[in-house]
Structure 1
């Protein structure tokens, strides 16, 4: 489906892409006063491939496959253009994808230089108890991979998706030198310096059964949602908007 050929949406309508059971669908959402939004499926976007993860940056979608650990696809859904990124290394023990992914860019004034980050923040061999770390970045301009020399003082869970804001990516994270894996911080990867910034403490304490979710608001702020799951049914306990200072969040620390 070529999204660029669709008719313009009317006032009160918007288009969104949703992932449902390894497939991407184009959805039209219509807001109605004092009623629930009306959602209409306009069509399936992918064909035979099963997609396990999707990440958005600047109108582009990074698609990670469920049954193919050798490559990923960057897709422009408006122009229906794709670019295949072949990996140098694959690692899916017990068929579990241990990598984290991010798509970002370096702003060069008149143009943007896109880059793709792929890393394993923590992977422990259950037999040898050895810890395995891997950080690499792909430059779209040169079509080359580069390994990054990073010693993390943070921990990012592999199932925790990052959020793109103004070319950089943010994750919920925790301190590495503790036994508790609690996402009570956020951390930023700066695609210009190709480095992680400092850990920034969130103004709440998340428990072992809680979930911290980040989202982007109008390409200006990060929204942080704490979902509390202590007593059974999930309850939304805390919502927060953060206007982040770029230098403070993305100053090099790795």
Structure 2
């Protein structure tokens, strides 16, 4: 039994579902908390070497959440590959639903589904467990912003829900997964215009950071431990009103921004943080190039950084075509390494250095 545990604990995370479906004994073994902790410890160490990249998509034709792993070594991504996800059926959705957005935090996924009303689904891909969450119905919503993070003092996952009604009143609600309750925190301010101009977001070290386009643009952070917003954080000096901004992370330690200027001569710059906290940030330039020749001018919703090789992999998901580009930070050369037509409406999220969670939801 010890030898079997040691062998199965080395199985890649993407194959754990296959292991559990092999036989009843393996299923019981791999669902044991002690085995899960051992497996996750090995997966965390492997992710630093092999860069496990989780790709999350949704298909409204069959109401499914799909999770795949991008091949970082072969530089390939095929949206038509066999799905590895869950199906949302009529029995647990009540009517036709559409996957609106997905968020990743520390091994868990938060998925927003819309039918007659908004519903939330939390999913642990490692355990294959799901949990439906109903939203409060006390407001008439005009605009909404969501975030998914955790309290660093106790590692409890939380959901932040910002909403505004037709009378421009702002509502802030927080759901705590440990107790299953919504609450309204006192004295949490959020400017009403920010909801309209909030674009890309990223959860890093339990806190969520947004790119806000208001004024000259800035980052805004919600601290899930203290349950409050931090001050406006400056973006790198390259940004201007003509830039589009994408966010990514580097090994769950640094936040990265990709700045694109598509008017006139095309320019691209990538910066990473030296240090980032809810109330402080400092930046280092990864690379910057002008006149970068790429086929598509609608660039990149998602990107990944390889610090050691000083390269960026950027994913363009315009009009159901999925193009993958490699940009060399030393020479400025770029090349398209994959281009695929798919029935999937879009890439919803890409998570670099995915590590599973032992959290039981």
TM-score (norm 1): 0.74
Offset of residue 14 of structure 1: 4.1
**Structure 1 residue runs of 4+, over 6 Å off?**
none
Q: Which of 222, 230, 233 matches 1:197? A: 230
Deviation at 1:200, TM superposition (A): 0.9
Q: Are residues 224 and 137 of structure 1, via their aligned partners in 2, closer, same or farther at CA, if it must alter by over 3 Å?
A: same
Is 2:126 the counterpart of 1:78? yes
Provide Cα deviations, 1:150-170, integer angstroms capped at 9, x if missing partner: 332572447624211111111
Q: Is the 8 A contact 1:105 1:113 kept in 2?
A: yes
- Rounded to whole Å, the distance in 2 between the matches of 1:57 and 1:164 is 6
Q: What's 1:102 paired with?
A: 147
Distance 2:216 2:101 in 1: 20
Is 1:43 the counterpart of 2:83 in the alignment? yes
Q: Greater Rg, structure 1 or structure 2? A: 2
Q: Given that residues 29 and 37 in structure 1 are in contact (C-alpha distance below 8 angstroms), is that contact kept between their aligned partners in structure 2?
A: yes
Matched, 1:140 2:161: no
Instruction: Please say if 1:206 is aligned against 2:240.
Output: yes
Q: What CA RMSD, in Å, does the superposition of the two structures yield over aligned residues? A: 3.2
For structure 2, list consecutive stretches of 5 or more residues without a partner in the other structure. 1-13, 20-42, 89-96, 282-361
Quote the residue 1:150 is aligned against: 188
Query: Contact 2:58/2:99 (CA < 8 Å) preserved in 1?
Result: no
Aligned residues: 226
1:190-249 deviation per Cα after TM superposition (whole angstroms, max 9, x unaligned): 111100000011123331x53222112101000111222335x9x552211013342634
Q: Is this contact kept in 2: 1:3–1:78, CA < 8 A?
A: no
Matched, 1:67 2:98: no
Q: Which runs of 5+ in 1 are unaligned?
A: 175-180
The answer for the alignment partner of 2:275 in structure 1 is: 244
